[in-house]
Amino acid sequence: MKRPAIILIFATLSSVSGAAQTLSPYQQGLMALQQNRTDEALEALTAAEKENPRDAAIRNFRVIALAQLGRCD
């Protein structure tokens, strides 16, 4: 199943130049989600949510990770 929003964000992150760039927890979470590393994605997105608790995009991607892990009610 393709997730266009994740693919678009991943493509945007991939196009950023600079080998020494530091990714935010949100960016790390999106990349891990794209690479099907769901546990790592959840961990990074949880950290991102703690930094930015009002960011709806972070919460949405965190719920996607939870659902993929079967931990969503």
Tally Cβ neighbours within 10 Å of residue 43. 16
pTM: 0.71
Position 39 scores a pLDDT of 96
pLDDT band of 72, cuts 50, 70, 90: confident
Position 12 scores a pLDDT of 55
Tokens 């991939």 belong to 14
pLDDT tens for residues 12-53?
Answer: 555 554 444 699 999 999 999 999 999 999 999 999 999 999
In angstroms, rounded to a whole number, what is the distance separating the alpha carbons of residues 43 and 54?
18
pLDDT tens for residues 52-69?
Answer: 999 999 999 999 999 999
